[in-house]
Amino acid sequence: METSPLLEITNISKVYPNGVVANANVDFSLAKGEIHAIVGENGAGKSTLMKMIFGMEEPSEGEMRLNGQKVKFRSPQDAIDSGIGMVHQHFMLVPSLTVVDNMILGMEPTRGFNIHYKEAVRMTRELSARYNLAIDPLARVEDLTVGMKQKVEILKVLIRGARILILDEPTAVLTPQETEELFKQLQALKREGHTIVFISHKLKEVKAICDRITIMRAGKTEGVFETSSVSEREISRLMVGRDVVLKYDKGDRKPGRPVLQARNLIYVNAEAKRVLQDVGFTIREGEILGIAGVEGNGQSELVRALTGSLPGAEGSVTVGGESILGRSIKDIRDRGVSYIPEDRMRQGAAKDASIADNLISMFYRLKAWNRGPLLNRKKIAAFSEAQIERYKIRAKSPEQPIGMLSGGNMQKVVVARECEAAPKLLIAEQPTRGVDVGAAQLIHQRLLEMRAEGCAILLLSADLNEILEVSDSLLVLYDGQFVAYYPDASQVTEETLGFAMLGVQRQSEAEVRRAIHD
Ligand SMILES: Nc1ncnc2c1ncn2[C@@H]1O[C@H](COP(=O)(O)OP(=O)(O)OP(=O)(O)O)[C@@H](O)[C@H]1O
Ligand SMILES: [Mg+2]
């Protein structure tokens, strides 16, 4: 494979205008028809390298050759014209437009707009059938789940004729089932001669699908390996510089009084589907309750009901005895509820605001943080510095806009903001999405600390390992109902959980109702 690279990068460096050296003398090569992984800690420079290949960022120095020819891309259009496409770590779709509108957005209209539009609908249908990327071309993007948005992004790249596909953490937002589906699609693309760059923090995936791996660390390449020649453990050691253990000593558990009590929750959506069918559960002080389920079985509605964004939900939800159902997000937060949303860019972070302002946005309401009309800048600075340190957020200073952080580091800011607000209840939805293995460990440990301090935690995750390792007790949501309750998550295997998630195995109603502790 080494003989004549399709794409070859030599000695590329990138210094951002603010002085951050994101890539330092990086060499990288891509062989035709391979699936090539890039792994590395948050902030290692993976996305930056890809943005240079895609013409979004200009290298400060270095060279790039495509098919042996020297190339210099001045814009993504240049890269697209050379057959390179990129699916970004954060979606670049316009939510208010339809799928097909997003597909053709920015494309040169070849014929009259109408025909072009119809053609795009046809092509969308054809490509989605061919690559098994089922999607309704006329659906509005804002109504799609993250998994579906991902498909739209991939289709958008394919419709532009890309032969090299760069996928920046495509699976971070996918459920295990969707990931499997994606892998089949990638394999099909590979068979048809496409070349794929695959960025992921999940080493299991990298091992499963990639031919070669380039490891990055602090802006440099640590080496290139044939995937079969390195173990997961070796890869993570090369990335992080130490062994990463994902087993936790959780110590004894003594759940206290009920904090969250949800009873008879019902939600019927606009299509008259009963999305939540009379569900109820309790989370007690010092308890981490995990909810597992295949996406689309009601968990996102459940979270929205608990966080004030599901008008029309019926039943009762109380936190510390006070009703929160139907209240505003702000009201709910004021009652001591923190929320790490699954979509950090849409609901999580204010991109142009500084790290410090993002971190303290939870505290504006607290008197202690106000000195007259002005917030106490000194106190904020000290607090922000402490969180940057604690969560190992890779940043130049607390004043840096959060939009300039790497994806995983933005996630850490959102997690820090929510966890450090001393909540009674934390709703953590995909809390380690997009963070590297070391940071995932750190976040898990923080959740366990909060649990020891008496916080009640609701954990939703598509990552079964995470949910089994971190939760004390587990509920499985299937078709809007709880079908299994496990008071002791440590006794549950991935297999058992899988069967319950697919609705193959169901407990009796009485067994499930044990999740309600009155
Ligand atoms: N637009 C920008 N301006 C200034 N600095 C930036 C910008 N984009 C990224 N950086 C910095 O460059 C470094 C590398 O970031 P990059 O996004 O390439 O990391 P990454 O390896 O993709 O990380 P992650 O796994 O978190 O996505 C980080 O220190 C980041 O803060
Ligand atoms: Mg990145």
CB 302 within 8 A of CB 477: yes
Cβ proximity of 128 and 134 under 8 Å: yes
**pLDDT greater at residue 244 or residue 465:** 465
Q: What does pLDDT average to over the chain?
A: 90
Ligand 1, atom 17: nearest CA belongs to which residue? 406
Q: How many residues are there in the chain?
A: 518
The alpha carbon of residue 275 and the mean position of all alpha carbons in its chain are separated, in whole angstroms, by 24
Q: Quickly state the pLDDT bin for 64 (edges 50, 70, 90).
A: very high
Query: Which amino acid residue places its CA nearest to atom 3 of ligand 1?
Result: 404
CB of 261 sitting under 6 A from ligand 1? no
pLDDT tens digit sequence for 215-241: 999 999 999 999 999 999 899 889 888
Contact 176, 293 (CB under 8 A): no
For 109, the token pair is: 């209209």
Q: Does 394 contact ligand 1 (Cβ within 6 A)? A: yes
Question: Which pLDDT does position 109 carry in this prediction?
Answer: 54
Residue 2's pLDDT is 47
**pLDDT for residue 504 is more than 90:** no
The dihedral sign for the CA sequence 196, 215, 90, 83: negative
How many A from CA of 48 to the centre of ligand 1?
A: 6
The CATH architecture of the domain made up of 7-240 is 3-Layer(aba) Sandwich (3.40)
Q: Is the pLDDT of residue 121 over 70?
A: yes
Residue 456 CA, ligand 2 centroid: distance in Å: 31
Whether 258 is in the pocket of ligand 1, judged by its Cβ within 6 Å, is no
Q: What angle do CA 478, 484, 486 make, to 5 degrees?
A: 140
Q: Among 12, 14, 18, 20, which is best to mutate for testing ligand 1, by the most ligand atoms less than 8 A from CB? A: 20
Closest residue (by CA) to atom 27 of ligand 1?
407
Q: Given this model, what pLDDT does residue 310 score?
A: 93
Angle between helices 113-130 and 146-159 (to 10 degrees): 110
User: What pLDDT does 130 receive?
Assistant: 79
Is the pLDDT score of 108 beyond 80? Answer: no
Confidence of residue 247 (pLDDT cuts 50, 70, 90): confident
Helix H, strand E, coil C: the string for 307-344 is CCCCCCCEEEEEECCEECCCCCHHHHHHCCEEEECCCH
- What would the pLDDT profile of 329-344 be if each residue is shown by its tens digit? 889 998 999 999 987 7
* Beta strand 370-371 pairing with 35-40: unpaired
253 has a pLDDT exceeding 80: no
**Residue pLDDT, tens place only, 473-489:** 999 999 999 999 999 99
The C-alpha atoms of residue 286 and residue 457 are separated, in whole angstroms, by 8
pLDDT at 366: 57
Residue 465 corresponds to which amino acid?
N
Residue 200 CB–ligand 1 contact under 6 Å: no
pLDDT interval class at 3 (50, 70, 90): low
Reported as a pLDDT band with limits 50, 70 and 90, residue 374 is low
Nearest ligand to the CA of 49 is 1
Cα(367) to centroid of ligand 1, in Å? 35
pLDDT at 147: 77
pLDDT at 1: 46
What pLDDT is stored for residue 363 in this prediction? Answer: 67
First to last CA, the chain: 64
| Residue 22 Cβ < 6 Å to ligand 1 | yes
What percent of the chain clears pLDDT 70, i.e. is strictly above it? 94
349: closest CA among 263, 471, 434? 434
Q: How far apart are CA 39 and CA 51, in angstroms?
A: 15
pLDDT recorded at residue 442? 93
| Lowest mean per-residue pLDDT among 222-231, 251-260, 277-286 | 251-260
* Topology agreement, domain 7-240 and domain 245-336+423-518: yes
Q: Does 40 contact ligand 1 (Cβ within 6 A)?
A: yes
Residue 455: CA count within 13 A, CB half-sphere: 25
Say which CATH architecture domain 245-336+423-518 belongs to: 3-Layer(aba) Sandwich (3.40)
Distance of CA 503 from the midpoint of ligand 2 (Å)? 36
**339 neighbors 386 (Cβ within 8 angstroms):** no
Percent of the chain with pLDDT over 90: 63
**Pocket lining: 20 vs ligand 1, CB cutoff 6 Å:** yes
pTM: 0.87
Q: Which of 108, 104, 57, 61 is nearest to 79 (CA)?
A: 57
What distance in angstroms lies between residue 98's CA and the mean position of ligand 2's atoms? 27
For the chain, what are the domain ranges?
7-240, 245-336+423-518
> Which is nearest to 513 in space by CA: 472, 476, 490, 484?
484
* Ligand 1 touching residue 18 (CB < 6 A): yes
The tens digit of pLDDT for each residue in 187-211 reads 989 998 999 999 999 999 999 999 9
For residue 37, pLDDT beyond 70: yes
User: If DSSP codes are grouped into helix, strand and coil, which group holds residue 276?
Assistant: strand
